Structure 1
Amino acid sequence: MFSNKTFNIVVPVVSVLLGLLAGAIIMLVFGYNPIQGYIALWNGAFGSSYFFGETIRQVTPYILTGLSIAFAFRTGLFNIGAEGQVIVGWLAAVWVGAAFDAPMIIHLPLALIAAALAGAIWGFVPGILKAKLGVHEVIITIMMNYIALHISNAMIREVLTDSGDSTEPIKESASLASNWLMEMTGYSRMHFGIIVALLAAFFVWFLLEKTTRGYELRSVGFNKHASEYAGMNVGGNIILAMVISGGVAGLAGAMEGLGTFGYMPTHSAFTNLGFDGIAVALLGGNNAFGVIIAAFLFGVLKIGSLNMPTAAEVPSELVEIVIALIIFFVASSYIIRWAILKLKKEGK
C-alpha cells in the first residue's frame, strides 16, 4: 500500500499518462495520427523561443489560480469564485496602472497590491457569510463571479472610459512586460509575472506548512468542531482563508492586466482562468509545488494545442478532451483508493 505522500505523487503522473493514452486512442478512432498530433503539441509549446515564452506566459496565471483554489481546499473551503476574483484583480491593477505616474519601484508594487486587495475583498464577502451565517461558499462565490463580470464591464464603460470597450493602456512604470524579455523569447508576451507567481507559491507553502497560523487554518479545514474545542477562532480562520485565497486569485488578474495585455477589455464571457485553476489544484494535489507542475502541464497543453490543427490537422478541441480525461482519472484514482482502504478495513 502506498503512503499518502507517495500516492499523491503517483496518482497525478499515472492520470496524465492515462489521459494522454486515451487521447491517442480517440485520435485513432477519428482517423488522426496521435504521434504526429503529440509531436505538433510538443513543438507548439517548445518548438521555438516564441512558443516557449507563450507557454510560460500561460503558466503564470494558472499557478496563481491553482494556488488560490488549493489554499481554499486545504482550509476546508471550495472557492469557486476565483474567476470573479481574477476579474476584479485585473480591473484594480489596470486602474492603478493607468491612473498614476510614479517610479516603477512604487507604481508596479502598488498595482499588484491593488489587485490582491480587490481579490481579497471579493473573497471576504463569501468568507464572512460562511463564518457568520453558515451560507455555503460555493453558492456565494458562483454568484460573485457574475457580479464581478458585469460590474467590471460597467466600470470600464461608465467610469474608466467614455462608453469604450477597453481601458487606457497602463503606464510603462506599472508593466510586468520587458523589451529584453520579449526579444529573448522571439517577441512573445512572456513577462516577469512568473517571478510573482513563484513567490506566491512559496508564500502559500510557507504559510500553510511552517507557521502556527497555517496550522490553525488547516486544522479548521480538517475539523472545525475539534478546532473550536481546542480554542481556535473558527470563524476568523474561515474569513482569513477566503481573503488569502481571493488575494492570490486577484494577483492572477494582475498578470493579465499588467503583463499579457497591458489593459483590460470588456468581457462577454468569463476568462476561464479561475475555473481552470480548479483542475490545476486537483491535479497538483492541493500542494503548492504540485500546483506549479500542474500549471506547467496545463500551459503546455493549452499553447501546444494551437499548433495541432496546422501541423498535424488534429482539432485543438481534442486537447480539451485530454484535459478532461486527466481530471477524470485523478478523481477515479481517489475513488479507487477509498474503495481499497474500505475493503482492507472490512477484511480485518
Structure 2
Amino acid sequence: MESRISSDINQDVYLDIVMALWSWDLSQPCNERRPHACIHQRCIGGRIPQLQRYFVYYKAIVSTYMDATSATTRGIKTHGDLFHVVSILKTNPDATLLELCRLIDQSTGSQTADGTRTVDAVALGVKTLLMVDPSALHHSSDRLEKGTYRIHWKEDVPFSKYIQDSFPLGNHSILSYDNSESFADVKKELKAVNLKKRLGITIRATSDIRNHLHFDRKNNYLEVYHYTSFLKEQLRVTRDVGDCSSPSSSLKRGVLPRQLVLEVLDSLQGTLFPLSDPRSKKLLRSLISKCSFDPDILNFEVSSVRRVGEESVPYVYLVDRLADLYNELQTPRPRGWLQQSMQRKSGARHVMMATLIGVIFAVLLGIASLAVFAWYAFMEA
C-alpha cells in the first residue's frame, strides 16, 4: 500500500525520492528496500546519508503543504502523487502552468473547479524537483524593499520560460572570464570571512536557489544557499550527457541548467568558502553547527561531478550579485546612525567649503576690478 503523504519519512521514501528525482541505478538490495544489506562498494545507494539535509528540506515543504491544505481536498495525498507531479514536470518542460495543471487533473481523474489546489500541487513539485519556490507572493512594499519579490508564474508562461526568467544572465569584465588576470584576485576578495570582517555582514541560510547571494543592504545580511549534496546530484545527472545549457533541455532531465548549478557550487566551495583556507573552513563548521548548513559543503568533489574543463567556472548567472558584493567591498556604504550622521555632516561641510571659496573668489575678483578701474581713471587724469 502506498504511504500517505506525511512529514514522517522512512528509508523507503528516501529511495523513492532519489529514484523520482534522479533515476538512480540502485543495486538489488537497495531496489528490494534493503539498503542496509547492500555491500556493493559502488552502489550509489551509499550516497543516501549525504542527502540528509535535503531530506530535512523535503519534510519541511511537505509539512507546510499539509498545514496549508485540507486532507479531504488536497491534490497530493501520497508521496507517489507528488512523484507523479514531478514526472509530469520533467516530461513537459515547455508546457504552461495552465497546461501542467490540466495534465495533472487528467492523470488523477480530477475535475475540480478549484484551480488553486492543482497550482499548489505544481508548486510543491517544483520545490521538490529544483528547490525553487514558485508560489505566488503577496505584492507588498516590504518584500519589494527587501528584494525578495519573486517573478510571478503566470498561467500562460511555459515552465522552461519561467525558470529562464528566474535566472537572468549577466556579464562582468572580470568575473565572467575565468582566464583573466584579475579573476582569482577578485574571488579572494569575496571570501565570506572578508565580507564579515570588513562589512559586518550576517550570513543567513536559504533553501531557495534564487535567493543565493541576495544581499540585503538595509539589514546587512547575505542569503546563502548551501545544499551542495543536492547540487552534486544535479551535476551527476548531466555529467556524461550532451548539451544541457537551455532550461528546456535540462528540465527534461529534472535539473537546472548545468552552468547555473556549477556557479552555485563554485561560489560556495571556491569563492565564499574556499576549502583550502583554514579560516573559511572554521566559519563553515560554525555555520553547519549553528545555522544547519549542509555538512556536505566540506566535501570537495571534482571528477565525480565535473567534466574535463570545468575545473574553473566563469560567472554569468551569479555575476551581478557577486559584482554587487565586490563593489560594496571597494566602496562600502555607511552603516548605522553614527556613520550616516558623520557622512551627512561631512557632506554639509563640503558644501559650505565650496560656497565659502566661491564667495572669496568673487570678493577678490571685485577688488581686482576696482583696482583696474582706479588705475585707468588715474591715467586719464
TM-score, normalization by structure 1: 0.26
Task: Report the TM-score when normalising by structure 2.
Answer: 0.25
When you count helix as a share of all residues, which structure comes out higher?
1
